[in-house]
A and B are shown apart, each in its own frame.
Chain A
Amino acid sequence: MVSTTPIHIDALAAERPQPGTREVVFDIRDLTVSYEGNPAIRSVTFEAYRNFVTAIIGPSGCGKSTFIRCLNRMNDLIPGAVVEGTVLYRGEDLYGKDVDPVEVRRRIGMVFQKPNPFPKSIHDNVAFGPRVLGMTKDLDARVERALKQAALWDEVKDRLKKSALSLSGGQQQRLCIARCLAVEPDVLLMDEPASALDPIATTRIEDLMHGLKKDYSIVIVTHNMQQAARVADMTAFFSIEQGEEGHRAGILVEYDVTSKIFTQPSDKRTEDYVTGRFG
């Protein structure tokens, strides 16, 4: 079972993470993404570390979702999306010539903003990934393990054959997390995973993330600053900026240890945002 200890910002600040000593999971260099020629994010450069929760915050339209979708090549599915720059995942270029996006997504799982369970049973939702990837040995044990990791097992163990759509929103989202974990990914990407949930369900997801980062590296997009402060080790603040050609695009303003972003940001724009003067 995962721990459900409540997390305090002060505690985080006390044991300030040491990014320099960590293994790099994503090394993002000069990443620019445009849709139909309109840039969505421009020249984003930073590193995300192993077994850290890295939060992406920023106002609406600053390209947070666009950015996170580059990390498992989900942008490939959008016609007209062009990705420039490099994304190194454990040293390997995700957009390299021989890289199979399907293999990328197998290792880098994703949880979406709105819970999106398949219209199938709870068991089949979790079993879908393993089945698709041919990991069908001991499937039931694998499903159970994933549901336990997502702290959902006790609630659903008696009704695994029931439709996933009968679950509450918070349970559906944890099911989606379990579904990701079932294929044993290396990284979990979460695109505003709690924005459609009530505060109690949100807390459960946040607690879950704390337990999960022992085994996984997590990148989370959130519009909720308190959430970033509660869950993230490192925080990247994105904002929108007018480019030279007049296009508005998202840029990375500041990236640092979470407690520093929220207490002593070095950029004025970050300060304005986290203190609520903008966005």
Chain B
Amino acid sequence: MKGRRRDIRGAIFRLVLLASLAVAFITLGTLLFDVAGKGFKFLDPRFFTSPPSLDPQEAGARPAILATLYLGLLLLVMTVPLGVGTAIYLEEYADKKRWYNRLLEVNIQNLAAVPSIVYGILGLAFIVRGIGLDRVVLAGALILTLLVLPTVIIAAREAIRAVPDSIRQAAYALGATRWQVVSRQVLPAAIPGIATGSILALSRGIGETAPLIMVGALTYVAFDPSLLGPFTALPVLIYQWTSFPQDDFRALAATAIIVLLAMLMTLNALAIWLRNRYQRRW
């Protein structure tokens, strides 16, 4: 009864946990600190209103910022209906005993693990060249859609699966059809989870660089992008600027990173807010 039994393994485990946390925090902190130190110099209104230029003092990121916003919007419009639709089919309609449904499931999991550059190559071959869309914003958005679709599907499926079966049973027992059960009970209950998952997938999508480079976003664009016009996106512009020899362009890249991070963090904050706001306890 007396004294303390020393839980050495427990203490070590705690230390390991703290160390893993520290690695993540220190990495992020260093990055932010470094970027903020270099990038604040160019963080002014001009950065948001001017196109890129060969003169660092004149250069801004307006076309890239706009293109990234367009890409994000298009991505949302295209992935959410497709992803949620697929998730509903797989969770509520598909007969899991059928081999084609199982094949579909396994392949969606696999697609989520395919490197993004592969999607870029696919997009170049089938979207830019194949259907002749050329190197435009829409082509970029389509590729990003393919890229994040598996993630959205997986997130939406998790959200749908989290709706307790007792809710479905109750609705069926009242004489609801399958469509009514899905549209009036399951989907409304799953929306917070679907929204969170979609936003996180979206923020992954707009941070992507490689597939956009494959479809020609690595280019000089001095005007505001349009749906069917050439474009460069913020991550691509960052990549471009860091490859320039002058220090000022590195600083501009840092500024662009600050802007991109701010956009991503806003999206993530929105996701967290949505999750907390609509979280349900059954």
Task: Mark A residues whose CB is within 8 Å of B.
Answer: 72, 74, 77, 79, 102-103, 105-107, 109-110, 112, 114, 116-119, 128-129, 132-133, 165, 176, 179-180, 183
**Contact sample, A vs B, 16 pairs, CB 8 Å cutoff:** A77-B172, A105-B173, A105-B175, A109-B173, A109-B174, A110-B173, A116-B164, A117-B170, A128-B171, A128-B174, A128-B176, A132-B174, A132-B176, A133-B174, A165-B282, A183-B174
In angstroms, Cα B175 to Cα A129, docked, is 7
A132-B180, A165-B281 are known contacts. Are A112 and B171 too (CB-CB below 8 A)? no
Known: A112-B166, A119-B282. Contact between A105 and B174, CB under 8 A? yes
Decide yes or no whether B280 CB sits under 8 A from chain A: yes
B96, B170, B174, B281 interface centre (most CB from chain A within 10 Å): B174
* Contact with B169, one of A74, A103, A132 (Cβ below 8 angstroms): A74
8 Å CB contacts to A: which residues of B164-215?
A: 164, 166-177, 180, 184-185, 189
A183 with B175, Cβ < 8 A, contacts A114-B166, A128-B184 known: yes
The answer to whether B5 has its CB under 8 Å from any CB of chain A is no
Which of B95, B170, B176, B282 is within 8 Å of A112, CB to CB?
B170
**When the two chains form their complex, are residues A116 and B175 in contact, meaning their CB atoms are under 8 A apart?**
no
A118 to chain B, nearest CB (A): 6
Given A132-B180, A132-B184, A165-B281 in contact, is the A118-B175 Cβ separation under 8 Å? Answer: no
List residues of chain B with CB within 8 A of the CB of A105.
172-175
Residues of B within 8 A of A180 (CB): 173-174
A residues in contact with B280, CB < 8 Å? 119
Q: Report B-chain residues with C-beta under 8 Å of the C-beta of A106.
A: 174-175
Could you list 13 further interchain pairs (A-B, Cβ under 8 angstroms) beyond the known A74-B172, A102-B177, A165-B282?
A102-B175, A105-B172, A106-B175, A112-B173, A116-B167, A118-B167, A119-B189, A119-B280, A128-B174, A128-B184, A133-B175, A180-B174, A183-B175
B97 at the interface (CB under 8 A from A): yes
When distances are taken between beta carbons in the complex, the residues of chain A under 8 Å from B176 are: 102, 128-129, 132
Q: Mark B241-282, 1 if CB is under 8 A from A, else 0.
A: 000000000000000000000000000000000000000111
Q: Is the CB of A112 within 8 A of B174?
A: no
Instruction: Tell me how far the C-beta of B65 lies from the nearest C-beta in chain A, rounded to whole angstroms.
Output: 40
Q: Which residues of A contact B164 (CB under 8 A)?
A: 116
A121 to B185, CA, bound (A): 13
Nearest 6 CB-CB pairs, A to B?
A106-B175, A116-B166, A129-B174, A110-B173, A105-B175, A132-B176
Q: A116 and B174 in contact (CB under 8 A), knowing A79-B95, A132-B184, A165-B281?
A: no
Whole-angstrom distance between the alpha carbons of A173 and B280 in the complex? 19
Q: Which chain B residues border A165 with CB–CB below 8 Å?
A: 281-282
How many Å lie between the Cα of A142 and that of B8 in the bound state? 65
What chain A residues lie within 8 Å of B96 (beta carbons)? 79
Shortest CB distance B190–A (Å): 11
Q: How far is the CA of A151 from the CA of B272 in the complex (A)?
A: 41
Cα distance A117–B189 in the bound complex, in angstroms: 13
CB contacts (< 8 Å) of B168 on chain A: these are 77
Which B residues are in CB contact (< 8 Å) with A119? 167, 189, 280, 282
Complex: how many Å from CA A129 to CA B169?
A: 13
Distance of A142 from chain B, by nearest CB (Å): 13
Residues in B neighbouring A118, C-beta threshold 8 A: 167, 170-171, 185
Q: Closest A-chain residue to B95, C-beta based? A: A79
- The closest CB in chain B to the CB of A163 belongs to B280
* A72 to B167 Cα, complex, angstroms: 17
Residues of chain A contacted by B282 (CB below 8 angstroms): 119, 165
Closest to A105 in B: B175
Nearest residue, chain B, Cβ from A180: B174
With a cutoff of 8 Å between Cβ atoms, the chain A residues found around residue B171 in the complex are 118, 128, 132
A233 to chain B, nearest CB (A): 24
Chain B residues in 8 Å Cβ range of A107:
175
**With A and B bound together, what is the CA distance between A11 and B189 in angstroms?**
47
Q: A165 — nearest CB in chain B belongs to which residue?
A: B281
Most B C-beta atoms less than 10 A away, residue of A109, A112, A114, A128: A128
Chain B residues with Cβ below 8 Å from A77 are 168-169, 172
CA distance A5 to B185 in the complex (A): 37
Among the listed B97, B166, B175, B189, which residue makes an inter-chain contact with A132, where contact means beta carbons less than 8 Å apart?
B175
- For A117, give the chain B residue with the smallest CB separation: B170
A74: chain B residues within 8 A (beta carbon): 169, 172-173
Interface-centre pick from B96, B173, B184 (highest chain A CB count, 10 A):
B173
- Say yes or no: B174 contacts A179, CB within 8 Å: yes
Q: Are A112 and B175 in contact (CB under 8 A)?
A: no
- In the complex, what residues of A have CB within 8 A of residue B185's CB? 118
B281: which A residues are within 8 A, CB to CB? Answer: 165
Mask: chain B, 222-240; 1 = CB below 8 Å from A; 0 = not: 0000000000000000000
Q: Is B170 in contact with A176, judged by CB distance below 8 angstroms?
A: yes
CB distance from B141 to the nearest CB of A (A): 35
86-107 of chain B: CB within 8 A of chain A: 95-97
A132 proximity list for chain B (CB < 8 A):
171, 174-177, 180, 184
Q: Report the bound CA distance from A114 to B184 in whole Å.
A: 21
